[in-house]
Amino acid sequence: MASIVGTIPKPLKMDSHGVFRVGDTRVSLDSVVYAFNRGENAAEIQYSFDTLSLAEVYAAIAYYLHNKAEIDQYLIQQEMRYEKMRADHEREFPPKITREMLLARKNGNDPNWKK
């Protein structure tokens, strides 16, 4: 008697922004890998991202472990991309109140602030 073995779907898809997504969800591979590297197990990760099935979490972790060097490089590039976007945004929209201003207000050293 022959056994029928189903195919395992691809665990990842790259979206139009160049971000790996797990399965057919919007959960990024980055999120799953960071949780895994923090020591969370697959069930804990699945609990945090309830749109993922446990099988999708295991598949994403397996993909990461089989392609660790490439994915670690991808994560570094994603972090650099995020930092550039954050810096560009902060430059375009500077914060109106800085930490120093808040501390001056708290300590009563801001002449423009009335309690």
Residues 89 and 105: their CA atoms lie apart, in Å, by: 26
Residues 29 and 70: their CA atoms lie apart, in Å, by: 13
- The CATH number for 36's domain is 1.10.10.10
Give a yes or no: residue 18 inside a domain: yes
Query: How many alpha carbons fall within 13 Å on the CB side of residue 81?
Result: 9
Q: What is the pLDDT of residues 61-111, one digit of tens each?
A: 999 999 999 999 999 999 999 999 999 998 888 777 788 888 888 888 877
- Residue 105 has what pLDDT? 80
Give a yes or no: residue 80 inside a domain: yes
Residues 102 and 38: their CA atoms lie apart, in Å, by: 33
Residues 25 and 62: their CA atoms lie apart, in Å, by: 18
Percentage, residues of the chain above pLDDT 70: 97
- Residue 115 has what pLDDT? 59
Q: What is the pLDDT of residues 35-60, one digit of tens each?
A: 999 999 999 999 999 999 999 999 99
Q: How many CB atoms lie within 10 A of CB 20?
A: 22
Give a yes or no: residue 2 inside a domain: no
- Residue 59 has what pLDDT? 95
Q: With a cut of 80, say whether residue 1 has pLDDT above it.
A: no
The pTM of the full predicted model, rounded to 2 decimals, is 0.73
Give a yes or no: residue 4 inside a domain: no
